[in-house]
Structure 1
Amino acid sequence: MSMAHQSQTSRAARVLLADDQPHVLDALQLLLKNNGYSTEAATHPSRVLQALDAGQFDVVLMDLNYTRDTTAGGEGLELVSQIRSRDASLPLVVMTAWSSVDLAVEAMRRGASDFIQKPWQNEQLLQKLQTQVERMSAIRQAQRRRADELQEARDIQNKLLPKKLPEVADYEIAGITQPVRFVGGDYYNVVRISDAQTVLCIADVAGKGLAAALLMSSLQAALKPLMWQKLAPRELCSRLNRILCDITPVGKFTSFFYSVLDSRDARLTYCNAGHNPPILVRANGEATELNAAGAVLGQFPDWVYEQSEVRLGSGDKLLLFTDGLIEASDADEEAFGEHRLAAIALNNPAQNAAELMNSLMQASSAHCGGHFQDDASMVVLRAM
Structure 2
Amino acid sequence: MLLLGLRMFNMAAIRPETSARVLVADDQPDVLEALRWLLTGEGYEPEFVSSTPAVMERLRERPFDLLLMDLNYTRDTTSGREGLELIPRVRAHDPSMPIVVMTGWGSVDTAVEAMRRGARSFVQKPWEDVALLEILQREINDARATKRRDTKQQREFEEARLIQRGLLPTSMPRAQGLALASSWQPANGVGGDCFDALPFGPGAVGLSIADVAGKGVPAALLMSNLQAAVRAFGQDGASPSSVCASVNRLLCRNMASGRFVTFCYARIDVATRRLTYANAGHNPPLLVRADGSIEKLSPGGTVLGVFTESTYEQGEFPLRAGDRLVFYTDGITEGRNRDGEEYGEDRLAAAAHRHRAHDADAMLAAMLQDVEAFNGSTYEDDATLIVAAL
State the TM bucket, normalised to the shorter chain: 0.7 to 0.9
Q: Aligned pair in 2 of structure 1 residues 294, 30: CA closer, same or farther (>3 Å)?
A: same
SS in structure 2 at match of 1:138: helix
- 1:335 maps to a residue whose letter is E
Alignment correspondent of 2:350: 343
- 1:202 maps to a residue whose letter is I
For 1:1-384, list aligned pairs within 5 A: 13-19=20-26, 21=27, 23=29, 27=33, 37=45, 39=47, 41=49, 43-44=51-52, 56-65=63-72, 67=74, 70-71=77-78, 73=80, 76=83, 80=87, 89-99=96-106, 104=111, 107=114, 112-119=119-126, 128-383=135-390
> Deviation of residue 237 (structure 1)?
0.8
> Deviation of residue 364 (structure 1)?
2.0
**When the two structures are superposed, what TM-score results if normalisation uses the length of structure 2?**
0.80
Which range moves more in the overlay, 78-87 or 249-258? 78-87
Which whole-Å CA distance do the structure 1 matches of 2:311 and 2:146 have between them? 50
Q: Aligned pair in 2 of structure 1 residues 69, 296: CA closer, same or farther (>3 Å)?
A: farther
**Native 8 Å contact 2:285 2:296 kept in 1:** yes
Which whole-Å CA distance do the structure 2 matches of 1:169 and 1:133 have between them? 64
Q: Aligned pair in 2 of structure 1 residues 347, 104: CA closer, same or farther (>3 Å)?
A: closer
> Deviation of residue 138 (structure 1)?
3.1
Which whole-Å CA distance do the structure 1 matches of 2:189 and 2:175 have between them? 32
> Deviation of residue 47 (structure 1)?
7.7
> Deviation of residue 177 (structure 1)?
2.2
**Native 8 Å contact 2:176 2:202 kept in 1:** no
Per-residue CA deviations over 1:205-226 (Å, capped at 9, x if unaligned) read 2344445434333322322211
> Deviation of residue 142 (structure 1)?
2.5
SS in structure 1 at match of 2:78: coil
**Native 8 Å contact 1:208 1:375 kept in 2:** no
Per-residue CA deviations over 1:274-329 (Å, capped at 9, x if unaligned) read 11111122222333322323222122222221112223322321110011101111
Which whole-Å CA distance do the structure 1 matches of 2:64 and 2:124 have between them? 22
Which range moves more in the overlay, 305-314 or 320-329? 305-314
SS in structure 2 at match of 1:229: coil
Q: Aligned pair in 2 of structure 1 residues 131, 294: CA closer, same or farther (>3 Å)?
A: closer
Alignment correspondent of 2:7: none
**Native 8 Å contact 1:205 1:215 kept in 2:** yes
Q: Aligned pair in 2 of structure 1 residues 243, 122: CA closer, same or farther (>3 Å)?
A: same
Which range moves more in the overlay, 196-205 or 305-314? 305-314
SS in structure 2 at match of 1:61: strand
Which whole-Å CA distance do the structure 1 matches of 2:34 and 2:180 have between them? 65
Q: Aligned pair in 2 of structure 1 residues 14, 357: CA closer, same or farther (>3 Å)?
A: farther
**Native 8 Å contact 2:32 2:48 kept in 1:** no
Which whole-Å CA distance do the structure 2 matches of 1:382 and 1:42 have between them? 69
Which whole-Å CA distance do the structure 1 matches of 2:76 and 2:386 have between them? 61
- 2:253 maps to a residue whose letter is D
**When the two structures are superposed, what TM-score results if normalisation uses the length of structure 1?**
0.81
Which whole-Å CA distance do the structure 1 matches of 2:169 and 2:48 have between them? 50
> Deviation of residue 183 (structure 1)?
1.4
Query: How big is the alpha-carbon RMSD for the aligned residues of Structure 1 and Structure 2?
Result: 3.7
> Deviation of residue 256 (structure 1)?
0.9
SS in structure 2 at match of 1:148: helix
Q: Aligned pair in 2 of structure 1 residues 226, 113: CA closer, same or farther (>3 Å)?
A: same
Q: Any unmatched runs of 5+ in structure 2? A: 1-10
- 2:345 maps to a residue whose letter is E
- 1:339 maps to a residue whose letter is D
- 1:43 maps to a residue whose letter is S
- 1:378 maps to a residue whose letter is L
> Deviation of residue 189 (structure 1)?
0.6
Per-residue CA deviations over 1:126-148 (Å, capped at 9, x if unaligned) read 67545543443333233222222
Per-residue CA deviations over 1:334-370 (Å, capped at 9, x if unaligned) read 2112232233333334533233223323332332223
Question: What percent of counterpart residues are identical?
Answer: 42
Q: Aligned pair in 2 of structure 1 residues 68, 341: CA closer, same or farther (>3 Å)?
A: farther
- 2:153 maps to a residue whose letter is R
Q: Aligned pair in 2 of structure 1 residues 55, 28: CA closer, same or farther (>3 Å)?
A: farther
Equivalences, count: 376
**Native 8 Å contact 1:191 1:198 kept in 2:** yes
Which range moves more in the overlay, 79-88 or 303-312? 79-88
